[in-house]
Each structure stands twice: as structure tokens, then as C-alpha cells.
Amino acid sequence: MYHMVREHIPSAKFNKLRVTPRAFEQQLHWLSTQGFHFFTMQELRALWKAGQLPAKSVAITFDDGYEDNLINALPLLQKYQAKATIYVVVDRHDNDWATYKKAHHNNGELMREPKLSDLQVQALVDSGCIEIGSHTMTHVNLGKLNDEKLRLKELTESRTQLQQLTGQPVESFAYPFGIYGQADVEAARAAGYQDAVTVAEGIDPAHPLPDFLQLKRIKISGKDTLLAFRIRLRTGKRGWK
């Protein structure tokens, strides 16, 4: 699970979400030399269900829809013939989602980060190595949403709009903040998603088949060294445990 691929901002709060281009390239290089196979989420799911997933399979994901995903990440993905899935928030401009989680100490840092324009989203799709998934309409905190209609709108409307924008089926979803309950899993299913990722840290086993609407992820921090990255790829988590 990545967010941004860009240089850090001195003394900024969210540098964990900023993996530098140099670190990202080191990580891709390592994955590639280790023999990992890169898949989009749709590809990963299809092979997994068919029992044809190679032992070393990885799906790189980016949350939110930052412009650097196109400018900095895509050229590196192409260099290593890698693929990725980007979970795009439909209303991503001038939207300060950091405030929804922690209202205090927020200074609009994430709101000021440039987001992908619609044309840029289309350019990513045209590259042939990017799948676009949904991250809701507004980056809503589903845990605080009690309105059933609004919940379905966040899930369904975002899927419809992203399908129109990309001309591709949108089957993959990421729960904003990783906050969700059983009602959200059911709503994601009802909205037509075939797979959804959480922020529960870990690696789902090849067998038995996981719940494809509650997949675990490995958090990649902008503060990790390559060694820390390798440990996370092995354990799913930070550190050796």
C-alpha cells in the first residue's frame, strides 16, 4: 500500500505517505530481482481464484489519486515492467480527507498535494499497466456513516463515474482510512466490486481462498529503509514478528 511517490517535505507530518522516487525504484528493483510477478488487483484475483497464482505475486496499490503516481511512479513501473492499481477518490480536488480522521493538528497538507486530473487518470489507463479502482466519492469515513442511501451512493456512484471516465470495468475498491464494518462489505458487494483492500497489515494465504472483499495489505512507509521493506514483504508487518 502506497500513497505518494515523491520527495519528502522538510518537517511535514505525512512524510510516511511519501516514498521517494529513489526508494520506490530500489523496491521495484528488489522485487524484480527476487522474481516477483506484478499484477493488477483484477489479475491477482482471477489467478488466485483459479489456483494459478505464482508463489511470488505482488499487487502494488496506491490510495487517493495523487498526481505523482503518474509523473513519478508510472515511469518507474514501466522501467521494471511492473503494474499497479490506483484507488481514486472521485471528488479529490480541494478535499481535505486528513481532517476526517484527526480533526486536530491538521494544516491542509494532503489537500495541497496535487491530485490526478481526469485526463491524467485516462493517461494512466492508456499506459496499459494501471488498473483504476474506487476509493469512494469523497473519501468518506464509512465507520461514521449511518445513512444506508449515502453509503450505497459513495460506493455505487464512484464506481459508475470511474467506469465512465476510464472506459474500463471498475471492480476493485479500497475502504477509506481502512475503516469499515460488515455493512460496508455487503454494500461493496452489492455495488458490484469483486475485490476490496483494507489496511489490516499482513499477507493473505494462497489457500484457503481469502475473503476477496477484505484483503490485507502491507504498508510501505516513506521512512522505511530497503531492509525494513524486505522484512515487511516477508512478514507483512513492521519488524520481525
Stretch that binds Zn ion, among 64-72, 74-82, 208-216, 233-241 (CB under 5 A): 64-72
Instruction: Please give the C-alpha separations between residue 201 and each of 14, 23, 97, 98, 178, in angstroms, as whole numbers.
Output: 19, 21, 21, 20, 10
> Does position 113 bind Zn ion by CB under 5 A?
no
Decide if 27 contacts 229 (C-beta within 8 A).
yes
User: Which helix (H) or strand (E) element contains residue 74?
Assistant: helix 74-79
Q: Which is nearer to Zn ion, 64 or 171 (CB)?
A: 64
Residue 128 C-beta: closest distance to Zn ion, Å: 25
Q: Which is nearer to Zn ion, 53 or 73 (CB)?
A: 73
Which cell goes with 38? 506484478
Q: Which is nearer to Zn ion, 96 or 204 (CB)?
A: 96
Decide if 133 contacts 41 (C-beta within 8 A).
yes
Q: Which of 36, 40, 42, 64 touches Zn ion by CB under 5 A?
A: 64
Residue 195 C-beta: closest distance to Zn ion, Å: 17
Instruction: Please give the C-alpha separations between residue 76 and each of 37, 64, 218, 227, in angstroms, as whole numbers.
Output: 15, 19, 20, 20
> Does position 63 bind Zn ion by CB under 5 A?
yes
Stretch that binds Zn ion, among 61-69, 120-128, 140-148, 184-192 (CB under 5 A): 61-69
Residue 234 C-beta: closest distance to Zn ion, Å: 26
Which chain residues interact with Zn ion by CB under 5 A?
A: 63-64
